[in-house]
Amino acid sequence: MIISSEQFEENRAVAEEIREKGGAAVCVDLDLLDPESVDSYFLRVHEEIPFCRVLVNNAGIGLHKSLEESTDAEFRRVFEVNFFSLTKLCRQAMSYMKNREGGHIINISSASARRSLASMSCYGATKGAVHCFSQALRLEVAPLGIAVTEILPISVKTEFFDRAGYQPKGMVQTPETIAKLIERAIRTREAELCSSQLTRLGFLLDVVAPNFASKLLEWQQRWRKD
């Protein structure tokens, strides 16, 4: 297993814990806001392991502001981490996987990809982009034996919200819940996985009665402000 993020010391601690429990893990540093770090990532991975069979794109940052409150720079920063870096890593993974009996790309998106909420215009837009990108990429790489899974979780209890400057309301899930979905995705190679039954019902309502769903959310937003 290769562990990568900008949290270098934390990554090394996790890798050490995995090794202590009998697993194999190494760290390859990755800063998604550094183009050179992203562009050279798979070259550095290849120095550690001969072949990447599964890529899990799990990194992301949030922005809890209305469009009026946010800036162009903030939008670009969130898009760089949540979308553009993801597409670069997927492109690199394809070049390694297509000639090596296939592979599997798992993109951690969000329920916001299908229906975004107030003060999440930027974050929702990045995850909506990941959703459409994953759908198209799935078709492009299927003839190569590469699967693409999109996981659409609700809020997860991590440091994500502390960094984004707000705390979620409503149901919050654990990282272990998402880890189990990743394990399932690797086994089944399903196209999409949701972390909540309520999310599935919400997606269904959005398809069957999108105008009603929109009016319901508008009413909820007005009620909160009142």
List the catalytic residues.
123
3 state SS of 156: strand
Burial class (CB in 10 A: 0-12, 13-18, 19+), 24: exposed
* Closest listed residue to residue 149, CA positions, set 192, 195, 87, 85: 192
Are 189 and 149 spatial neighbours (Cβ–Cβ below 8 Å)?
yes
Structure-token pair, residue 36: 């050179």
d(CA 17, CA 115): 37
Enter the DSSP assignment of 120. Answer: B
Give the rounded distance of the alpha carbon of 143 from its chain centre.
24
Give the rounded distance of the alpha carbon of 175 from its chain centre.
13
d(CA 218, CA 224): 10
